[in-house]
A and B are shown apart, each in its own frame.
Chain A
């Protein structure tokens, strides 16, 4: 496998469910990110992990909980979500400190909260 892999591709969950999104990067990058993309809105940065340490949390509701067990894996744990949380969730990785390397994105998880 190469690049950034996200699973599952599609997820439908009820408001009382608990689920997790998974992201894995095979690029040897040292930073990983979660972005949210809602209809008709720019991509919103949710969380940043650099060298496995969370360095940014953009006022994201506590019903979203990230986990980065190592530099290659990133999870987004979801619980008691709201319908407005339905969106495309994108994972990305980059090599911080190297201006010649950009971000690589996964294919995303399309989340629908019912």
Chain B
């Protein structure tokens, strides 16, 4: 059974800092890995998706990497802004593509 762990559980940084969120998964036979953002009381917004054959994806100030052999993914946020404050969730899709397993998330606060 796939298990996904995210470290740290919470992170508070001053505006402008570059930061890294970590995600690890126990079963390397994944279909893809997806990073989401969730604002309080809201649904999930997809940020980046990395297919199992890829090593990284970039969107604006966000960069996500994937290392299947070590069971790790990182989300790098450059020049953080207060608007980046949210919970960030990592989720791994099993090989059939129909089951998504989530980590517990990292709650990020960017202070002005």
Residues of A within 8 A of B (CB): 6, 31, 33, 41-43, 45, 48, 50, 55-56, 88, 90, 92, 94, 96-108, 110
Contact = CB atoms under 8 A, between A and B. Distances in A.
B41 A43 contact: no
Given A106-B43, A108-B42, A100 B99 contact: no
Interface in B3-52: 4, 31-32, 34, 36, 41-46, 49, 51-52
Nearest to A110: B41
Contact of A100 (B42, B43, B49, B89): B49
Contact of B46 (A42, A48, A97, A102): A102
Contact of A94 (B44, B97, B102): B97
Contact of B99 (A42, A48, A98): A48
A99 B32 contact: yes
Contacts, number: 67
Given A88-B41, A90-B44, A105 B36 contact: yes
A96 B98 contact: yes
B59 interface: no
Contacts of B53: 99
A103 B34 contact: yes
21 contacts: A6-B43, A31-B98, A33-B100, A41-B104, A42-B105, A43-B102, A45-B99, A48-B99, A50-B98, A55-B98, A94-B97, A94-B100, A96-B96, A97-B97, A100-B49, A100-B51, A101-B49, A102-B32, A102-B93, A105-B43, A105-B46
Nearest to B41: A110
B91 interface: yes
A48 B100 CA distance: 10
Nearest to A105: B44
B91 A103 contact: yes
B73 to A, nearest CB: 13
A103 B92 CA distance: 11
B71 interface: no
A48 B91 contact: no
A102 to B, nearest CB: 4
